[in-house]
């Protein structure tokens, strides 16, 4: 393959901005430079776009904006541009790119937004398309589609913001249908942002208030008793491979944002400490869920492994964390695919999907 130019996009207007910076730095350190030229494109929290030419470490440290190594630049939807437009004092310069790696977590990154821009631009990109991104991002839609395909998920209910005013009417119905304890999640965030566990009526109300700060729709789920395990998937549509299954043992009440990224308090076991038959069931179900949702490139499918041998899908993450401690690269490393090779495979899958 001839050397390709890849644009790595990071940041964005998202509650997961900081996680994106850490993930992007890891991706940038591991792109095989003998096969790819790299352009770094950062989006600020308030939505400004810049080409960044500085040290990768400053991205991870969230100091890239103050580096003096930025210049206004955008991804153009005009296909004649072929990628990025640099805005210079002398005018506009076009920079053609071959493939884009959007390392954007949460809203505007995993919900089909950036994917729609890339489709308009006619640029190959790593990861799921518009529909798969948006349906996997919306936890209610994920439940509906997986259940329609016969893939088991936790018992659930969706609530919109206006319904919170009728909490005294809704709470008994939720308690009867789902039972305490409950997990409360904004429908369209990742990294456990805005997620709470409620053991009674008062805690449920406070959890809903918290979740509605992040989304107009909230999912309420029965708390499942089982081992938290994850399986990474790599491929396009039905042509995909699952990773080794990994296990997460949080030291907090659940696997929250702090346990994922801030305090190193979570124990990870690769492979998971579950029977081989259950592990194989999870790997098979992960690929089924990937195909049912129309995923391409990559996804991490999160499960509960029940003590009776059953498995329940918790969530599908279409742009999972790529930090040095993230499960997606770790799971494939355990399967024999090292980080640089993993990045290369993802970029090749993006080009393959686009027919480039």
Domain boundaries, the chain: 4-125, 135-152+225-354, 156-222
Is 317 known to be catalytic? yes
What are the pLDDT digits (tens) for 311-346?
999 999 999 999 878 999 999 999 999 999 999 999
Close Cβ partners of 31 (under 8 Å, ≥ 6 residues apart) = 6, 8, 38, 340, 343, 344, 347
Whether 255 shows a pLDDT value over 60: the answer reads: no
By percentage, how much of the chain surpasses pLDDT 70? 95
Which position among 16, 51, 228, 256 bears the catalytic label? 16
* pLDDT (average), residues 121-132: 98
Give the pLDDT of residue 252: 64
Contact 188, 215 (CB under 8 A): yes
Is-catalytic flag, 261?
yes
pTM, full prediction = 0.92
Instruction: Choose, from 83, 321, 328, 345, the residue flagged as catalytic.
Output: 321
pLDDT at 1: 64
- Say whether 93 is catalytic: no
In the set 52, 76, 299, 300, the catalytic residue is 300
Instruction: For 4-125, give the CATH class.
Output: alpha beta
C-beta of residue 301 within 8 angstroms of C-beta of residue 284: no
Q: Tell me the average pLDDT of the chain.
A: 94
**Which one from 138, 317, 328, 339 is the annotated catalytic residue?**
317
Helix (H) or strand (E) holding 42: strand 36-43
Write down the pLDDT at residue 90.
86
CA 112 to each of CA 105, 138, 165, 223: distance values in angstroms, whole numbers, following the listed order: 11, 11, 31, 29
Q: Which residue is it, tokens 């329940």?
A: 312
- The verdict on whether 267 is a catalytic residue reads no
d(CA 184, CA 199): 11
Instruction: For residue 106, indicate whether it is catalytic.
Output: no
Class of domain 135-152+225-354: alpha beta
> Can you say whether the dihedral through the CA atoms of 27, 28, 30, 34 is positive or negative?
positive
The pLDDT value recorded for residue 95 is 97
pLDDT at residue number 143: 97
pLDDT score recorded for residue 35:
97
**Marked catalytic residue, from 107, 215, 221, 302:** 302
The CATH number of domain 156-222, selected from 3.30.70.260, 3.30.1490.20, 3.40.630.10, 3.40.50.10140: 3.30.1490.20
**Residue tagged active-site, from 20, 23, 188, 191:** 191
Q: Where are the alpha helices (DSSP H) in the chain?
A: 17-30, 56-60, 113-121, 130-137, 139-148, 167-178, 201-211, 257, 276-292, 327-334, 339-354
- Annotation says 321 is catalytic: yes
* pLDDT tens sequence across 169-194: 999 999 999 999 999 999 987 657 78
Name the catalytic one among 17, 36, 214, 261: 261
**What is the rounded distance in angstroms from the CA atom of residue 336 to the CA atom of residue 324?**
16
């Amino acid at each position: 393959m001839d050397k390709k130019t890849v644009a790595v996009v990071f940041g964005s207007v998202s509650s997961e901005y900081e996680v994106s910076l850490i993930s992007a730095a890891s991706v940038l350190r591991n792109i095989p430079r003998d096969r790819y030229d790299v352009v770094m494109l950062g989006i600020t929290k308030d939505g400004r776009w810049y080409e960044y030419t500085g040290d990768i470490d400053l991205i991870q440290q969230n100091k890239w904006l103050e580096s003096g190594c930025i210049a206004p630049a955008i991804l153009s939807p005009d296909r004649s541009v072929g990628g990025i437009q640099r805005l210079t004092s002398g005018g506009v310069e076009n920079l053609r790119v071959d493939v884009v790696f959007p390392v954007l977590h949460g809203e505007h990154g995993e919900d089909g937004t950036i994917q729609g821009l890339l489709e308009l631009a006619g640029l190959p990109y790593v990861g799921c398309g518009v529909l798969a991104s948006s349906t996997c991002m919306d936890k209610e839609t994920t439940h509906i589609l997986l259940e329609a395909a016969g893939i088991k998920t936790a018992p659930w209910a969706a609530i919109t913001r206006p319904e919170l005013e009728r909490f005294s009417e809704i709470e008994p119905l939720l308690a009867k249908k789902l039972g305490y304890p409950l997990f409360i999640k904004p429908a369209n965030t990742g990294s456990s942002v805005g997620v709470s566990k409620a053991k009674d009526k008062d805690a449920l109300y406070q959890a809903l208030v918290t979740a509605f700060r992040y989304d107009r729709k909230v999912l309420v789920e029965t708390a499942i008793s089982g081992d938290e395990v994850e399986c990474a998937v790599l491929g396009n549509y039905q042509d995909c491979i699952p990773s080794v299954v990994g296990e997460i043992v949080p030291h907090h009440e659940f696997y929250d944002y702090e346990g994922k990224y801030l305090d190193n308090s979570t124990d990870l076991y690769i492979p998971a400490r579950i029977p081989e038959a259950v592990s194989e069931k999870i790997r098979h179900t992960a690929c089924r869920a990937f195909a049912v949702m129309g995923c391409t490139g990559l996804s991490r499918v999160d499960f509960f492994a029940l003590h009776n041998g059953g498995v329940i899908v918790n969530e599908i993450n279409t742009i999972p964390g790529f930090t040095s401690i993230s499960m997606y690269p770790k799971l494939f490393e355990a399967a024999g695919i090292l980080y640089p090779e993993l990045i290369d495979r993802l970029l090749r899958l993006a080009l393959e999907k686009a027919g480039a």
